[in-house]
Amino acid sequence: MWLALGLIFWGLLWVNLAEAGELSRLIYRPAPHADCPDQGQLIDAIGARLGYDPFRAEAPRSLEVTIEPKDGGFGARVELEDAEGHPSDLREFEPQPRCAELLDPLALAIAVALDPLQLGPPTPSRPPPPPAPEALELPTESLGRFYLSAAPLLAVAALPTPVPGGRIELGMEGERWGLGLEGRFLAPASQAIEDGEITTFILAAALSGCAHWGAAGACVVGTFGALRASSDRPLDEHKASGPYATLGARARYLFELAPPLSVGLTAEVAATLTRIELVDARTGAEFWSTPWVHGIFGIEARFDFPR
């Protein structure tokens, strides 16, 4: 009550310069980077006490409100100027811990100064707009994307001699993982023996599970298919074929050529899980058998499908 009486008395000192209902031009300077009320909130709070908006841009006199950091909080200064631009009065407010806490004392003091006879109980002012909700983003990366890749191959030690081949892979890749299904073919390889030669080739499918870090990746690859081998001798012909399975590890490095195309290198080391032996039917001598370990190297080109 004493605060209200003091403010009313202070406002009455301004009556000679501020007739009831006289409009003013508001100049508002809040402290930057603080939770200060905006100009609209201040005008609404003052208007709620007077019952009307006392400010017009073309009004002859001005009311300047300045809020600035002070003593670890925020202080305010209110200055009223007449139509000739002469300061008529100055009021400073005690610092508050938060800038927003200055709204009510500022609104009450300014309302008393501008129109003390019209002062009434405050009505609810316009609440600040709620913060805009952040847009929900679907975890598209976790859903994975599909890709199609192809690579010419060079197999070393898989067949009697190094041979070319190829593979085509359809896969799905997430942020740090990947799964692939591929078909591969190694061209026939021939090796000369006494009175003839050995010819072998491989046709297989493979499953891969991969982890990748940027352009680099590592995969575990399981291969399942068939190996065909034959020997041709003047007096004896022996043919053999059977299941072919390997388990290996592949390293790859891909770099983006032009979206959605990427190219890179792959290297794979695999252990043979099934063995096929080509044996001379007359003597029992072994012509050739699948090796325990072999390597496959390739140049990969990949196309990423849009999500």
Give domain status of residue 131, yes or no.
no
Closest to 230 in 3D by CA, of 157, 287, 275, 274:
287
Cα 170 to chain center, whole Å? Answer: 26
The CATH number of the domain where 87 resides is what? 3.40.50
Give domain status of residue 138, yes or no.
no
Give domain status of residue 250, yes or no.
yes
Q: Are residues 168 and 58 in the same domain?
A: no
Give domain status of residue 129, yes or no.
no
How much is the pLDDT for 252? 93
Q: Are residues 173 and 266 in the same domain?
A: yes
How much is the pLDDT for 204? 94
Cis peptide before 37 (omega within 30 of 0): no
Give domain status of residue 22, yes or no.
yes
Q: Are residues 216 and 295 in the same domain?
A: yes
Q: Are residues 290 and 172 in the same domain?
A: yes
How much is the pLDDT for 171? 94
Q: CB-based contacts of 23: which residues, under 8 Å, 6+ apart? A: 54, 55, 56, 59
The CATH number of the domain where 208 resides is what? 2.40.160.20
Of 100, 118, 136, the position where a domain reaches its end is: 118
Q: Are residues 157 and 279 in the same domain?
A: yes
Q: Are residues 112 and 148 in the same domain?
A: no
Q: What is the pTM of this model?
A: 0.52
Q: Are residues 152 and 292 in the same domain?
A: yes
- As for how many domains the chain has, the answer is 2
Distance CA(92)–CA(90), nearest Å, equals: 7
Give domain status of residue 263, yes or no.
yes
Asked if 255 contacts 263 with a C-beta cutoff of 8 angstroms, the reply is: yes
Of 103, 118, 133, the position where a domain reaches its end is: 118
Q: Are residues 268 and 161 in the same domain?
A: yes
Q: Supply the DSSP string of 128-165, one letter for each residue.
A: PPPPPPPPP---HHHH-EEEEEEEEEEEESSSSS-EEE
Distance CA(216)–CA(283), nearest Å, equals: 51
Asked if 31 contacts 95 with a C-beta cutoff of 8 angstroms, the reply is: no
pLDDT per residue rounded down to tens, the chain (307 residues): 555 555 554 554 444 434 445 788 889 999 888 889 899 999 999 888 888 888 888 888 888 999 999 888 899 988 888 777 777 777 888 888 899 898 998 888 888 888 776 665 555 555 556 666 665 554 544 567 899 999 999 999 888 889 999 999 999 988 889 999 999 999 998 877 766 777 888 999 999 999 988 889 999 999 999 988 777 664 445 556 789 999 999 999 998 888 889 999 999 999 999 888 777 766 777 777 888 999 999 999 999 998 7
Distances (CA, A) of 103 to 35, 100, 177, 239: 11, 6, 55, 97
Residue 272, domain extent:
144-304
Report the amino acid identity of residue 180.
G
Distance CA(291)–CA(284), nearest Å, equals: 19
How much is the pLDDT for 236? 47
Question: What's the token pair of residue 242?
Answer: 């059977």
Give domain status of residue 126, yes or no.
no
Give domain status of residue 125, yes or no.
no
Q: Are residues 159 and 292 in the same domain?
A: yes
Question: What's the token pair of residue 102?
Answer: 């200055």
Q: Are residues 293 and 245 in the same domain?
A: yes
How much is the pLDDT for 84? 79
Distance CA(178)–CA(212), nearest Å, equals: 8
Q: Are residues 299 and 156 in the same domain?
A: yes
How much is the pLDDT for 12? 47
Q: What is the DSSP letter of 6?
A: H
Q: Are residues 201 and 92 in the same domain?
A: no
